[in-house]
Structure 1
Amino acid sequence: MFAWNTCVMQIGLHTNLDPVHHHLETEKPHLFFLTETQIAKPSDVAYLSYPGFTLEHNFKKHAGVCVYVRDDICCRRLRCFEDSGFSSMWVLVDTGVESTLYACVYRSHTGDRETTRLFEHLSEMADEAQRRYPTAQLVLLGDFNAHHKEWLFPFMKTDHAGREARKFALSLNLTQLVQVATRVPDVDGHTANCLDLLLTTDPEKHSISVTSPLGSSDHSVVKSVSVFSPPIDCPVGTRRVWRYKSADWDEMRHFFSSYPWRQVCFSSGDPSCSADAVVDVIRQGMEYFIPFSDIPLGHKARPWYNADCARAEARRESAFQAWVLARDRKVRSRRVRAKKRAYNSAAKSYKRVLRRARFDHVSRIGARLASYPPGGKQFWSLSKAVESNFCRPSLPPLLKPDGSLAHSAAEKANLFATLFASNSRLDAGSKQPPTLPCCDSSMPKIAIHTKECPNPGSLPMYSQYPRRVVVPIPATIDLSP
């Protein structure tokens, strides 16, 4: 049975974009929800996208949520359930087996009144969603920043947000499935706690696991695996790419002309066998004289993620699992603190390795670009490859007159308009207007004569007027000089 993979975590998206893209590439989740993205709504979100996934977002400056949806998933955004005052997003997913309503929520650290308003809004929208889609499963997930002693590890006291969250879950018959710490600060002395929740109406269909945080985030990745799946999964196998521009066509033509085709075509009385033999010869000639490469389906290069990054990530994950195991077994607090310090050290080392790998990769690209002639074919080929790999806008940042860079689409458009306007004006003080050269051709004199209509009353359009009316008729043109 296939697994339906949903992930959720809290992370600053702009500063952790590379780890997020790496997670999408390696794990290929069906849905990847992110909370507290901390991005003001940009005019161009192309640099946040990743090939093979669709990005839906509700960005806010100090809050915000978004989701990466794999392209083979049937998903629809339900904006009618969203309120611009809250960081929430609703999507309806049709797996081909059943439908699921997902609501991703981030509750910022606001007052009790705002918290009550948020849960009242969620309760109303959940009731309306279940009324419109009665057969759909309901899943609410995200960073609620709420503490309740009944099911939020490891707090023994309840705050106002926890009471509201608990009351909200009971009113909709929702079950909270995350029972481990999800916020893991990498500072000694800070307590790990559970702030990321997953509430669902059908808990038997979900299996929850928690893995170490991505990038510089201190929130773990909460992974939910369900027992249903879309009928079509990612393709497997390889694809052969032929490089026809580098082919040796003359040698391949000579190869085919000198090949003993009679033995191939008439060696068997079965036409199917002869056809297969001809195909094999043609493929053999192509492999001899046309360069090619076999690329795995669904594979995308990660040039910046090197072996050091993989080793650092493995060490961090191993330290995280060791700390979780020691905590779950309730060993001595001294050993738990030692495991936690080991994880903090591995997490900080992983962040440093990622930054160094990214810096080295960008430096190598810059050195290659500097070695190519500006504006040459190699220069622009590498530039386009870099833009495509990093999912950046097709138009690179432009230099403004004051020395700063124009990043957004509006800034680039205004800069182009200013440049066009400055190049379109004539300097009257130093330039003369253009003059047309004289020529020997001349135009003959044109004379137009009008004649009186002999019987205007015979015309229907003039029957209502007096008979003596002078009516212009088509002019007679006299071309005599």
Structure 2
Amino acid sequence: MDRKFNIVVYGVAENPQNTNRQLRMKKDMENVMEALSPTDIDIEPSDIKDLYRLGKYDQKSERPRPLLVKFLRSNTAIDILSSKSKLEAPIYIKPDLTPQERQKECLLLKERRSLIDNGTERRYIKIRNDSLYLNNKLHCKGSIPCTQINDNSTIEIVWAHVHLDKNNDFIIGSFYCPPHSSDTILDNLQSSIDMIKQKYPHTQIILGGDFNCPGIDWENSTLINSYVSCHFREKLIDLSHNYQLSQLVTFPTRAQNVLDLCFTTNPNSVISCEPLPGLSDHNAVLVSIKIPKRVIKQHPRTVYLYKLADWEKIREELSDLSHDYFEINQASPQSLDENWSFFLQNLQEIINTHTPTKKLSTRIHLPWLSSALKRLIRKKQRVYRRAKRYCRDSDWNEYKSLQKEIDHKLKYQHKSYLTNLTSSPDSNKKSLWHYIKSRKQENNGISTLINPINGHIITNPVEKADTLNQHFQSVFTSEDNSNIPDKGPSLFPSLPTFEITEQGVYNLLSTCDTSKSPGPDSLHPYVLKVTAAELYPILTHIFKQSLESGEVPLQWKHAYVTPIF
């Protein structure tokens, strides 16, 4: 809907609800033409495309509902808005705003009312371009709605919840620690952060203020000479690590000391952190962050429709592949990596040729939303549109009744779905983890890490991956086989000769769990199971070759590793 063609007219008298609808619309048209006549704009009823009342009719209200007037030409709406100063009270007009713009305007008007109630004269307050000016100086902007969070703590701290939209918000806090404070103030700060974490578990936190705690090298999380006790500084460092808070200020904020700090749970969203001249003997700290925060968009992925594949053709070509494989090895024996690459590349080519695919979108899917409930939701939407159009009490009552019924059934079905998902011992674990993943409200990646060698805090994604990879490698040992001690005869029976047979490989392939996902080689268990009779000769040869050489193909050493901590 293009809102530049519309205006909203306030103060136009409204006919009773029991009047005929066509008569009400005709009377509203006449009243609008009369109300806009002082603008000296030549308007005819044919210039108006449509008009209707906004909101629900309230018989007890003395204030008439505003009228939304839609013109055929945008110039008509622009000319009327430019002449609105000529209108006579109680008539006034406004442009048709979006819900976000109305929210900004509402916030600015509330702040304006608050200033007037506190004694500020009206002539000093001006609202221009989504901003409120006091004595020609910017006082606040209406584009950042936030609410204060009540904190019963005894320390000097204030929290605010900045909610930009439904899925994009953060918590910002300001804290003051008096000089030479005891450790108790940090205990109270910890309790305050606990309260925020429990109330907003998945929301980014930004905490800044004057901590009066110099003598900390925040890049290395180490102590340097300072008048503040070591225990107090160590406790502050531990607090930041326990809550995964990264400290951003690395420059002096008063003399040569870093007293004013800024912590965040998502350092990847920070663009810059720099000092500014302050109003006191402290420098101000300017932190720029990405708003809205970075959202990792998942691209549609390709999946194979194995149940629709031409398995006869696949089996036929795999039989030819098996014949070619052994013919090549008889003519000239190939290395283990060459055999595996030949097998994998040809198998993937055959599967791609004879298996249809489709793209999976990232649309939100609620498995507990039944077809009956979807029909009920569509019915509610139809009733809502009808109620908004005709403004009948019977339609609004039906809409409210449907809304309550849908809310009740949604909660019941959601609860039943979770109960079935977690209570049954044979429940599908894949569905459970899919549900848990869908509940995540943001994706900040891996949190900050500490380098085990030098103790530095790691925020760069590449450095995080290297550190985790090094740790993963360090848990594996490389034994020295050249100097094995002789411990005499063993008290246990010797392990019998290990032999790989074609029947054994076939049995393993034919019993693959098809619900599992493929690994880095993209070989799906469904393919291995269905084509076990054609694949087992080649795989038996590769397994035997690996056992005899004591090596594995290079690709077998690749794996998906997910850190859990």
- TM-score normalised by structure 1 residue count: 0.30
Greater share of helix residues, 1 or 2?
Answer: 2
- TM-score normalised by structure 2 residue count: 0.26
- The structure showing larger relative contact order (alpha-carbon pairs under 8 Å, at least 6 residues apart) is 1
